[in-house]
Amino acid sequence: MHKALILNGPNLNLLGTRQPEVYGSTTLEMVENLCVSHGSSIGIDVSCFQSNHEGALIDAIHAAKGDQDGIVLNAGAYTHTSIALMDAIASVELPMIEVHMSNIHAREDFRHVSYISKVAVGQICGFGARGYVMALDGLAAHLNCGSTA
Ligand code: DHK
């Protein structure tokens, strides 16, 4: 059985009440429960962590090396700013799928840039909570086949 970390960044603890017209009504707890149950159905043991702090997210990425087989990351606004998170992912050499609830490409220009994408296997955005399930499927394909093609 593979192991994957679902890692959520700043403000995602407010899912469910935060701008529901953008991020939907699904809470972070619901997202995490969905990931755990979907993971077990496809042979992935899922752990979840959320932090509003860049350093705590970097520490979680470092701790995943040797413990996890892959990461599903919604870095929130750090997506668009954090070279440190990008470097952390590159450093641990774990496959990472980037997720966003909203379609960042259909929003403000500053959300179109993702440092995270540069070190991601792929990006899923615009599908709300379902995006995390799609990311786990993508990670499973990558881990089982060495690619998502
Ligand atoms: C979440 C955030 O907090 C924003 O800063 C990103 C992302 C988009 C999301 O859609 O999940 O720009």
Cβ-Cβ contacts under 8 Å for 1 (sequence gap 6 or more): 43, 44, 45
Distance CA 4, CA 36 (A): 10
Using the mean position of ligand 1's atoms as its centre, give its distance from the Cα of residue 121 in Å: 19
Give the model confidence (pLDDT) of 70-98 as tens digits.
999 999 999 999 999 999 999 999 999 99
With H, G, I as helix, E, B as strand and everything else as coil, classify residue 122.
Answer: strand
pLDDT recorded at residue 145:
81
pLDDT of residue 147 exceeding 60: no
Using the mean position of ligand 1's atoms as its centre, give its distance from the Cα of residue 96 in Å: 17
Span 2-145: which CATH code?
A: 3.40.50.9100
Strands 44-50 and 96-100: unpaired
Distance CA 137, CA 58 (A): 24
The CA–CA distances, whole Å, from 77 to 24, 41, 44, 88, 115 equal: 17, 31, 27, 16, 11
Give the model confidence (pLDDT) of 46-68 as tens digits.
999 999 999 999 999 999 999 99
Q: What percent of the chain has pLDDT over 90?
A: 96
Predicted TM-score (pTM) of the model is 0.96
Q: Which residues line ligand 1 (CB under 6 A)?
A: 11, 74, 76-77, 79, 100-102, 104, 111
For 1, other C-beta atoms within 10 Å of its C-beta total: 9
Which residues participate in the annotated binding site for substrate? 74, 80, 87, 101-102, 111
pLDDT recorded at residue 14:
97
Which residues participate in the annotated binding site? 74, 80, 87, 101-102, 111
**Could you write out the DSSP letters of every residue in 50-119?**
E-S-HHHHHHHHHHHTTT-SEEEEE-GGGGGT-HHHHHHHHHHT--EEEEESS-GGGS-GGGS--SGGGG
Which residues are known catalytic residues? 23, 100
In this prediction, residues 28-50 reach a mean pLDDT of 97
